[in-house]
Amino acid sequence: MNKLIKWTGLFLASLFALQSQAAGTIAGVEISNQASVSYDVGGSNATVSSEIVTITVQELINVTIISQDSGNVGVSSPDTGAELKFQVTNTGNGDEAFIISQVNIGGDEFDVTLSTIYLDDGDGVFDPNVDAVYDNSNPTSIDPDTSITIWVTSDIPESLNNNDSAEVQVAALSKTFSDDNQANPDAGDVVTDGGDSTTDAIYGSAAANADDTATFVVSAIDVTIAKAITGIDDQFGGSQPIPGAEVGYILTVTVTGTGDATNVTVSDSLPIELKLKNEAGGEITVDGVVNSAASNDDDASYDANTRIISVELGTITAGSDASEITFTTVIE
């Protein structure tokens, strides 16, 4: 039992040490130490101590910004309030608030109209009716080693082409330095008495590079699919949807906008009550061409196990005639 208590204590001490060192020693902490010297004289030992030397840890301001979008963010042209997601982390050793700015990066196809910054309410889902507008005049104070999520919104101009892109940069500036009229501080710059507990605030190297970018990409292609019943034939010569009756369907794929839609694939998962007529031996018609439902011999297939009909349409240019897929099913 003693050994268990000992190892538990060591683990907790190690965990505390890791947590306390993540942002460095907290601003305002006093570090005191003292030296001593011992010697022998006249057959006895003596010890003399130095004075106690104390320093107060100053506030080091550091921050990171990281885009939370996994890739380019697709938008329409025009579009309003298109959002980008960023995480802002206070990696300094004191409480600090940050002024958030956004700017267009040159060299791409278009510039966005920079709009509003929002502070996420903690659910990670953007909702302008719930998430508060980020107030740069009174920004949120962030504890050391703590993150907030922000949403940066922009308006996308009209008449853009498919795959046009716009890169947006988001940056953070310490409010302490902003209030001291230091809009572009260098690492090592100081605001006297600007830190926590009346310490000085020192601008860190991470703060000097606190920005990240994300990219909007225009998707001027609009692909739609419609499904309709073409007819019902029951085994008694009627048109009642009863077990054994055949039900015909048509899928219509339409591409509008500008540019090409590539790798267009249609998938229709039939419910358990339906199966393709003749299953793997059945037929799927694509734009008037009859295809076998057997896999791997053309662009259409049917999996009897999953009841999924798949059709590869390839590349479709916007404005082309709609693609039509027809097939017949049987009610189980």
pTM: 0.68
Which pLDDT belongs to residue 6? 38
CATH code of the domain made up of 221-331: 2.60.40.2110
- Rounding to the nearest 10 degrees, give the CA dihedral for residues 110, 111, 112, 115: 180
* Residue 247 contacts residue 326 (beta carbons within 8 Å): no
Query: Per DSSP, what are the bridge partners of residue 214?
Result: 168
Which pLDDT belongs to residue 222? 84
pLDDT digits (tens, 9 = 90+) for 80-132: 999 999 999 999 999 999 999 999 999 999 999 999 999 999 999 999 999 99
pLDDT digits (tens, 9 = 90+) for 14-44: 433 334 345 689 999 999 999 999 999 988 9
Residue 271 has pLDDT above 60, yes or no: yes
Which pLDDT belongs to residue 235? 95
Q: Write down the domain spans for the chain.
A: 60-218, 221-331
Residue 8 has pLDDT above 60, yes or no: no
Instruction: Give me the percent of the chain exceeding a pLDDT of 70.
Output: 92
Which pLDDT belongs to residue 297? 67
Contacts 24+ apart (CB under 8 A), 16-22: 19/145, 22/144, 22/145
Average pLDDT over residues 278-298: 89
C-alpha distances out from residue 23 to 75, 113, 141, 175, Å: 38, 36, 16, 19
Nearest to 147 by CA among 237, 63, 239: 63
Residue 12 has pLDDT above 80, yes or no: no
Nearest to 77 by CA among 154, 170, 168: 154
DSSP state string for 197-232: GG--EEE-TTGGG-EEEEEEEE--EEEEEEEEEEEE
Q: What's the rounded Cα separation, in Å, for the pair 330 and 244?
A: 6
Fold assignment, 60-218: Immunoglobulin-like (2.60.40)
pLDDT digits (tens, 9 = 90+) for 163-208: 899 999 999 999 999 999 999 999 999 999 999 999 999 999 999 9
Domains 60-218 and 221-331 share a fold: yes
* Residue 328 token pair: 């017949």
How much is the mean pLDDT over the chain? 91
